[in-house]
A = this chain, B = another copy of it.
Amino acid sequence: MQARELAEPYPVVRQDWGAVDAARLITGENRLGLIVVDDRNHPVAVLPGSQVLRLIIPGYIRDDRTLAGVVDDDFVSTMCDALEGRTVADLLPKEKSRLPVVGPDETVLEIAALMAAEHSPIVAVVEGPGSKGALVGAITLPAVLGALLPKQITDP
């Protein structure tokens, strides 16, 4: 089985997208993160949802979580204002989350080895010239595991 057969659609954002829109996409798609692409639809990074959360939750509440229990609803409803005017580029961690990239012909074992070596539960599949191909989809860890496991024999 090859990358092109394992690739699935995956939600993407661009670096100039608003942070609020990225946050809504994470929620709407029920994903832990998004793939960030450049102008040519080449994947450049992963935006972990945890980065969005870190921007919303004030540092003093992360440091002293007892404070989280005593603030009122009005406070909570203003916290997301921290996202206003910010972009996806602002959210990306300085040490960008690496997103391994494979071509459409790579085998499931090559993909699995890459995931295991890079500690990444997702790889992007690109098609096109050299190292700047356009994103065609993503392969997640459950799909790779499913392709590697022997097919189950079900009782008739």
Q: Which residues of A contact B (CB under 8 A)?
A: 20, 23-24, 26-27, 29-32, 48-50, 52-54, 56-57, 61-63, 65, 68-69, 71, 76-77, 79-80, 106-110, 112-117, 119, 121, 140-146, 148-150, 152
A109 to chain B, nearest CB (A): 5
**Apart from the given pairs A24-B149, A68-B110, 18 other A-B contacts in the complex at a CB distance below 8 Å:** A20-B149, A27-B145, A29-B142, A32-B140, A32-B141, A50-B115, A53-B115, A53-B116, A53-B141, A57-B109, A62-B113, A65-B110, A68-B112, A69-B106, A69-B109, A76-B108, A76-B148, A80-B148
A131 to chain B, nearest CB (A): 16
Question: A77 to chain B: which residues have CB within 8 Å?
Answer: 150
Chain B CB within 10 A, most for which of A29, A77, A114, A149: A149
Contact between chains at B148 and A50 (CB < 8 Å): no
* Chain A interface, >50% SS class: helix
Question: A61 to chain B: which residues have CB within 8 Å?
Answer: 109, 113
Question: A24 to chain B: which residues have CB within 8 Å?
Answer: 149, 152
Question: A140 to chain B: which residues have CB within 8 Å?
Answer: 30, 32
Contact of A80 among B49, B57, B149 (CB under 8 A): B149
Question: A143 to chain B: which residues have CB within 8 Å?
Answer: 27
Considering only CB atoms, which chain B residue lies closest to A69 in the complex?
B110
Question: A32 to chain B: which residues have CB within 8 Å?
Answer: 32, 121, 140-142
